[in-house]
Amino acid sequence: MKKLTVLLIVLMAVTALAGCAPTAPVEPEAPEAPAQETASFDVADGVYYAQEAEFAGSGWKYNVTLEVAGGKILDVNWNGTNVRGGDDKKTLSANGGYGMVAYGAAQSEWDVQAEMVEQYLLDNQTTEVAYTDDEGHTDAITGVSIHVTEFFGLVDEALVNGPVAKGDYTDGYYYAELAEDDKGFTYLGQFQVVNGTIVGANLNAKFLNEEEKDSSKKELGDDYGMVANGGAQAEWYAQAEAVESFILANQGFDIVLDAEGKTDAVAGASIHLNQFVELFNMTLGGGETAAMADGVYYAQEAAFAGSGWKYNVTLTVENEKIVDVNWNGTNVRGGDDKKTTSESGAYGMVAYGNAQSEWDVQAKAVEQYLLDTQTTEIAYTDDQGHTDAITGVSIHVTEFFGLVDEALANGPVAKGDYTDGYYYAELAEDEKGYTYIGQFQVVNGTIVAVNFNANGKTEDGEDTSKKELGDAYNMVAFGGAQAEWFAQAASIEGFVIENQDLTLELDADGKTDAIAGASIGMTQFVELFAAALK
């Protein structure tokens, strides 16, 4: 009733005023059209960047790159990197590897929706958007069902960070990984370059856990146990992050490593850095020879291939140039090195493989290519590592160039007391039909490689060796040994390289407690070492 009374009074007042109005009302002036407001950002022209501080539980870490001119965002890229490396998120999604549609029943893939979010920013020039829930979803952008709060937060952060300084690298995402090592770890390096500057680095080591599920050292975190079990100054992930920060701060990774692959140049990192240096060179260093200390460098493959050979490379560097290189190999059953075997005609690539020339001839052509070009960058024609870039070479060369990078990452070999070369000795066949062999390689006076083995015959009369038998030798299953013969032999080899000697006091059974992980008789090994190097 009160509302009705008020309404009647208002109507009466309006009627009365209308009755008093002049018969010829003055035409009011049309108001000026308000100037169209244009959003702008009070920031300098340039390229801006921001990324999240940590990898999320999903394994992803988002980043945003902006280009600003005249107070306007002219270009924007929203992307992400994964803790276990691989392609960036947009590339993975565009290739169907992310699978939001196939596995998540999404209306479109992540890369498609991300581009819609980017367009919204370009159209509206604002980071203000209404969210529909605490997870950061919004109804403001048609066709977008992913959460977008990370994107707009990173845009604000990038603008606060200021423009990225102009650097010397080429923009993009760079990724490389090494072959799985003997402990089951695959080391990886992922780098992002914006405006020529390295803005993101991820160094990690992935593996399969006991449940055969993908994991990585970073994801293990404190559970990796380097502090608790190894007395390290910090856990592996923290030391890896210290290395990443060093790369960002110095815009490079030109460091000199000692014989163990370590350095004092990176504060907070006492772990081996060989793999990280190699990964950086593979991605952003291009395997170039800049900032190399004078000296002799060496690397060999981690394991003998199915062919029985294990490759190695020795380099001599002077005035930041590779002035000498030797690519060679040793065989699991001993004997001559690969070049000597090939030169003598015993390898038989021409006679038995119809090759255009023997292995040693082609290897020397590959070495000359490196000396001429001073780079490990080369175009491969297939997954086996063949190339058309070196005339007269039909062998696969990927092992060579990979070992060159690894040797440079390892740092110079310390000067030792031995004479450089390959050394080989074998004992007479024993009563069980085994011929024990010892093969040693000395570089810059230092023993850099050792191969202890015992050659024999299979029941079918085929050549074999204890190392090739592997677990099938069955010392653990049938003899109750702590480790198989090949593993114990590897422990002895490691002892020789670490101590540069094999002078031991053996008990009546030819055993010793001096070498961790080796309980087998060592009489033959001591005798082989003395025969070859004493």
pLDDT given for residue 104 in this prediction = 86
Q: How confident is the model at residue 285 (pLDDT cuts 50, 70, 90)?
A: confident
Q: Which range is least confidently modeled, 29-33, 219-223, 275-279, 478-482?
A: 29-33
pLDDT of residue 89: 96
Residues with Cβ < 8 Å from 430, sequence gap 6 or more? 436
Minimum mean pLDDT range among 69-73, 167-171, 246-250:
167-171
Let me know if domain 301-410 sits in CATH 3.90.1010.20.
yes
Rounded to whole angstroms, the Cα distance separating 303 from 301 reads 6
Name the percent of the chain lying above pLDDT 90: 78
More confident residue, 409 or 336: 336
* pLDDT for position 16: 38
How many of the other CB atoms lie within 10 Å of CB of 55?
20
The pLDDT, as a whole number, for residue 482 is 87
pLDDT of 14 reads 34
221: left (phi over 0), alpha (psi -120 to 50) or beta: left
95 pLDDT above the threshold of 80? yes
For residue range 14-23, list pLDDT tens digits in order: 333 344 444 4
More confident residue, 19 or 532: 532
The arithmetic mean of pLDDT across residues 306-319, rounded, is 96
Q: What's the whole-number mean pLDDT along residues 524-533?
A: 97
CATH classification (class only), 421-533: alpha beta
pLDDT of residue 292: 73
Q: Does domain 46-161 have CATH number 2.160.20.60?
A: no
Give pLDDT, residue 399.
96
Measured between its terminal Cα atoms, the distance across the chain in Å is 118
- Structure confidence at residue 12 (pLDDT): 37
pLDDT of residue 1: 35
pLDDT of 31 strictly over 70: no
Confidence label for 383 from pLDDT (cuts 50, 70 and 90): confident
Say what percent of the chain tops pLDDT 70.
Answer: 91
Query: What's domain 172-285's architecture?
Result: Alpha-Beta Complex (3.90)
For the segment 115-174, what is each residue's pLDDT rounded down to a tens digit?
A: 999 999 999 999 999 999 999 999 999 999 999 999 999 999 999 999 999 998 999 999
Q: What angle do CA 31, 33, 34 make, to 5 degrees?
A: 115
* Residue 182, pLDDT score: 87
Stated as kind and residue range, the H or E segment containing 193 is strand 186-194
60-64, 282-286, 330-334: least confidently modelled range = 282-286
pLDDT band at 113 (very low <50, low <70, confident <90, very high): very high
Rounded CA gap, 493 and 452, in Å? 7
CB atoms within 10 A of CB 527: 16
Residue 191: closest CA among 88, 266, 58: 88
pLDDT above 70 (res 30) = no
Return the minimum-mean-pLDDT range out of 36-40, 182-186, 202-206: 36-40
Residue ranges matching CATH 3.90.1010.20 in the chain:
46-161, 172-285, 301-410, 421-533
The pLDDT score that the predictor gives to residue 219 is 97
**DSSP per residue, 287-304:** T--TTPPSEEEEEE-SS-
Condensed to tens digits (0 to 9), the pLDDT of residues 316-364 reads: 999 889 999 999 999 999 999 999 999 999 999 999 888 999 999 999 9
Burial of 240 (0-12, 13-18, 19+ CB in 10 A): buried
Over residues 264-274, mean pLDDT:
93
**Hey, which residues does 450 pair with through a beta bridge?**
440
* pLDDT recorded at residue 258: 80
Among 49-53, 139-143, 380-384, 466-470, the minimum mean pLDDT is found in 380-384
User: Which pLDDT value is given to residue 144?
Assistant: 96
The pLDDT tens digits for 458-503 are 999 999 999 999 999 999 988 888 899 999 999 999 999 999 999 9
Question: What per-residue confidence (pLDDT) applies to 35?
Answer: 36
> Higher-confidence residue: 508 or 11?
508
Q: Provide DSSP, 78-103.
A: EEEEETT-SS-HHHHHHTT-S-HHHH
Angstrom CA distances, 399 to 73, 364, 366, stand at 46, 14, 11
Supply the pLDDT for residue 291: 52
Answer whether residue 437 shows pLDDT above 80. yes
Per DSSP, what are the bridge partners of residue 451? 439
